C-alpha cells in the first residue's frame, strides 16, 4: 500500500515538473534584463526537531553579525529575500517594460550577488508584454 501511495505522489510531482518545463518553453522566451533597484532583507531560522524558530526580517549585515557573534543566534541559518526591479524589452511589443523579480533562499557568501546596472536573464511572456517569470 505504501508503495502505491509513493508511486502516485512521484507521478504527481513528475507531472508538475513536466508542466512547468512545458510552460517555460512554450509561453516564455529568455531575455536579458537590467537591474534598476535591489531591495534586500534577511531573516534567521533554526529548526530543532519539529519546532522552527524564525526572526523578523532585517538588514543582512546585522543578521550575519548576530549569527557569527551572538550566542543566542548561533546555529541559525540566514535566509535572504531579494526584490529586483528590472527593465527588459518585451518580445511581444519590443517596448521596454519594468517588472519585479523575486529571489529567495539561503544566504551564502556567493549567493544573490545583485547590483544596480547588472544584467540578468529572465523569461518574458510571448503573449503578455508585462508578464515575466524566473529563468
More confident residue, 113 or 6: 113
pLDDT digits over 83-131, tens only?
999 999 998 898 999 999 888 888 876 677 788 999 998 888 888 888 7
pTM: 0.70
Task: Report phi then psi at 5, rounded to 5.
Answer: -60, -45
Taking the CA atoms of 109, 64, 47 and 106 in sequence, report the sign of the dihedral they define. Answer: negative
Confidence band, pLDDT 50/70/90 cuts, at residue 22: low
pLDDT in tens, 36-81: 999 989 999 998 889 888 888 999 889 989 988 989 888 899 999 9
Please say if the pLDDT value at position 24 is more than 60: no
The residue length of the chain stands at 135
What is 7-68 written as a DSSP string?
Answer: HHHHHHHHHHHHHHHHHHHHHEEEEEEEEEEEEEEEEEEEEETTEEEEPPPB-HHHHHHHHH
pLDDT value of position 43: 92
Amino acid at each position: 500500500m505504501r508503495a502505491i501511495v509513493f508511486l502516485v505522489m512521484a507521478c504527481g510531482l513528475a507531472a508538475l515538473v513536466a508542466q512547468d518545463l512545458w510552460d517555460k518553453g512554450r509561453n516564455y522566451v529568455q531575455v536579458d534584463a537590467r537591474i534598476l533597484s535591489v531591495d534586500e532583507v534577511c531573516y534567521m531560522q533554526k529548526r530543532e526537531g519539529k519546532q522552527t524558530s524564525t526572526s523578523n526580517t532585517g538588514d543582512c549585515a546585522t543578521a550575519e553579525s548576530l549569527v557569527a557573534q551572538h550566542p543566542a543566534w548561533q546555529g541559525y541559518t540566514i535566509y535572504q529575500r531579494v526584490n529586483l526591479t528590472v527593465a527588459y524589452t518585451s518580445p511581444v511589443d519590443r517596448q521596454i517594460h519594468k517588472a519585479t523579480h523575486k529571489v529567495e533562499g539561503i544566504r551564502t557568501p556567493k549567493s544573490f550577488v545583485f547590483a544596480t546596472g547588472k544584467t540578468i536573464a529572465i523569461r518574458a511572456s510571448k503573449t503578455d508584454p508585462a508578464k515575466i517569470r524566473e529563468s
